[in-house]
Chain A
Amino acid sequence: MNTDLFAQLSALGSSLALLAGIALLWRRSLDSYVQAFKWQSLVLAAMFLMVGYFGRDPELYAMAVFFFLLKVIVIPRYLRRLQQRVGAERESQPYVNIATSLIISGLLVLLAYAVTRPLVAVSRLPTRGALPLAMGLIFVGLFVVVTRRKALTQVVGFLVLENGIALLAMLGTYGIPLIIELGVFLDVLMAFLAMQVFVYHIHGTFESMDVEQLNRLKH
């Protein structure tokens, strides 16, 4: 019964996280991007607690706290500040239109199911049912990075991609050692800060966040 509940809860949490990733594709304003990312991170933090409880690994509780602080509080706040500095920009014309990108994201999740099929077949973990969903979240994050036009929405896409990787690691291994995970967190923070600098510079040079403009640098 306990492992059953664990399996159900992990699948539930992963599908909520995936749902937030898909919500990203549907919305246009940066505000709702940040909001969706925040909810997704909250779900993931709760899943860290849940996996820590069922997997009897108290280290994961500490991870949950770090994760919460970094991704639910610090990064969304920075994103908001960034948005205020550069002005509210909407993802009004992504490279792939919204209805099509939703359908494609559905197909990407199907692809994730196909890719992880052998893994799920040999796995004995109670969390195996949720592995394809985590893989799907990674694909969806990647898709957001590739198809959105504005620098800031691409940053959010990258963060969602990173969330997907964290989810996959958590479900596949019940958490990698704390010290490595801390390193990953720092990497994410550094990458985020570096991107922030890029965003400022793109905005300063072109008065816009449209990455299309970068093509002009070639001439």
Chain B
Amino acid sequence: MKGYLLEIGQALMALALAPVLVGFVRWWKARLQGRRGAPPWLVYYDLRKLFGKEVVISKNASWIFRFTPYLVFSSTLAVTLLIPLVAAPLPFDALGDLLLVVYLLLLGTFFLALAGLDPGTAFGGMGASREMTIAAIAEPTIALSIFGLALGAGSTNLGRIVAQTLAHPAAAISPGHLLGFAALFIVMLAETGRLPVDNPSTHLELTMIHEAMTLEYSGRYLALIEWAAALRLLIFFSLLVNMFAPWGVATTLTPVALGVAAIALIAKLAALGLVIALLETRISKLRLFRVPELLAVSFVLALLAVTSSFLLR
């Protein structure tokens, strides 16, 4: 019972933390570029403002367009129930493993692409086609890189993998882990629309991907989609930090351990956010036709990660 309560609490925590994480990355980026930057919690005000606004929908849009924001939001929220955020083996682990996580995320991407096509605008179609190109290459890499870890732990269960790494800390510097981390990091940049692949800070660029699909949304629909995008960033961040550096994750459900775990998670997320901000100020966007090359790099890394953890068992 306690486990289920914790699971719900963890999902609520993710929901509450996600906007401030996005705001934090933006704030750091602004500081690094010599601007003062909006405070990280501005994103909450943005969301509240959007929820209060009127919704304008194209006459050509069908029910898919109206249904998508809810689906994207709830499928992303469901993922937060399945991944280890603060405590490792949890009761919901039995419901789904990493395959479910990958495909729940992909379900959201798929419907978002459909919704991009639905109103029949040029930008929406363009964004949908690009998003699908990237998702098709990125998705096997996510699964492969986590399989590398799963082979080491003998289970595709995310909670089990974390517990296994906690029990054998030397495994964290094995080649399988490191190559898998590098692969997942690159894919994370692609999947959350961060810089070398997509530019998260502009709406008006011919090369936009994610923003092109959501261009037609307004009001509470847009709020839901933005919140889901923030949640997605948080999910990928916490997968990266908790699967590959799980220190601090609670293995017992005592209040002290959970408090430590929550603080450790926030610290790790902030550190990764800083890394992303540094990366985004240093590099520029890749040409769209070079993105598959970048993803090929990450696929090869994931392949090597699986190979080395399979053969070095």
Chain A: residues with CB nearer than 8 A to chain B?
4-5, 8-9, 11-12, 14-16, 18-19, 22, 26, 98-99, 102-103, 105-106, 109-110, 113, 129, 132-133
Number of A-B pairs, beta carbon distance below 8 Å: 60
With contacts A11-B312, A26-B297, A133-B175 known, is A19 near B307, CB below 8 A?
no
Whether B300 and A102, one on each chain, are in contact in the complex, defined by CB atoms closer than 8 angstroms, is yes
Give CA–CA (A98, B300) in the complex, Å: 12
Nearest-CB residue, chain B, relative to A101: B296
Q: Which residues of A contact B311 (CB under 8 A)?
A: 113, 132
Whether A15 and B304, one on each chain, are in contact in the complex, defined by CB atoms closer than 8 angstroms, is yes
Whether B174 and A106, one on each chain, are in contact in the complex, defined by CB atoms closer than 8 angstroms, is no
Whether B174 and A103, one on each chain, are in contact in the complex, defined by CB atoms closer than 8 angstroms, is no
Q: Which residues of B contact A102 (CB under 8 A)?
A: 293, 296-297, 299-300
Whether A4 and B300, one on each chain, are in contact in the complex, defined by CB atoms closer than 8 angstroms, is no
Q: Which residues of B contact A110 (CB under 8 A)?
A: 303, 307
- B80 CB, nearest partner CB in chain A, Å: 32
Whether A99 and B178, one on each chain, are in contact in the complex, defined by CB atoms closer than 8 angstroms, is no
Whether B173 and A98, one on each chain, are in contact in the complex, defined by CB atoms closer than 8 angstroms, is no
Across the interface, A98 reaches (CB within 8 A) one of B170, B174, B296, B299, namely B296
Whether A12 and B293, one on each chain, are in contact in the complex, defined by CB atoms closer than 8 angstroms, is no
Whether B300 and A15, one on each chain, are in contact in the complex, defined by CB atoms closer than 8 angstroms, is no
With contacts A11-B175, A22-B300, A129-B312 known, is A109 near B307, CB below 8 A?
yes
Whether B292 and A12, one on each chain, are in contact in the complex, defined by CB atoms closer than 8 angstroms, is no
Give CA–CA (A5, B308) in the complex, Å: 17
Whether B293 and A99, one on each chain, are in contact in the complex, defined by CB atoms closer than 8 angstroms, is yes
Q: Does B88 contact A (CB under 8 A)?
A: no
Residues of chain B in range 166-203 having any CB-CB distance to chain A below 8 Å: 170, 173-175, 178-179, 182
Whether B300 and A106, one on each chain, are in contact in the complex, defined by CB atoms closer than 8 angstroms, is yes
Give CA–CA (A174, B277) in the complex, Å: 42
Across the interface, A14 reaches (CB within 8 A) one of B175, B296, B307, namely B175
Across the interface, B308 reaches (CB within 8 A) one of A4, A11, A26, A105, namely A11
Closest 3 CB pairs of A and B: A15-B175, A106-B300, A102-B296
Give CA–CA (A33, B173) in the complex, Å: 26
Nearest-CB residue, chain A, relative to B303: A106
| 28 A-B residue pairings within 8 Å (CB atoms) | A5-B170, A8-B170, A8-B173, A9-B173, A11-B174, A11-B175, A11-B312, A12-B174, A12-B175, A15-B175, A15-B179, A15-B308, A22-B301, A98-B296, A99-B293, A99-B296, A102-B293, A102-B296, A103-B300, A105-B300, A106-B299, A106-B300, A106-B303, A106-B304, A109-B304, A109-B307, A113-B307, A132-B311
Nearest-CB residue, chain B, relative to A109: B304
Q: Which residues of B contact A19 (CB under 8 A)?
A: 179, 182, 301
Give CA–CA (A105, B175) in the complex, Å: 17
Give CA–CA (A105, B293) in the complex, Å: 13
Give CA–CA (A103, B173) in the complex, Å: 25
Contact with A along B283-313 (1 / 0, CB 8 A): 0000000001110110111011001100110
Q: Besides the contacts A12-B174, A15-B178, what 10 more A-B pairs have beta carbons closer than 8 Å?
A: A9-B173, A12-B173, A16-B178, A19-B179, A98-B296, A99-B292, A99-B293, A106-B303, A129-B308, A133-B308
Nearest-CB residue, chain A, relative to B294: A26
- B165 CB, nearest partner CB in chain A, Å: 14
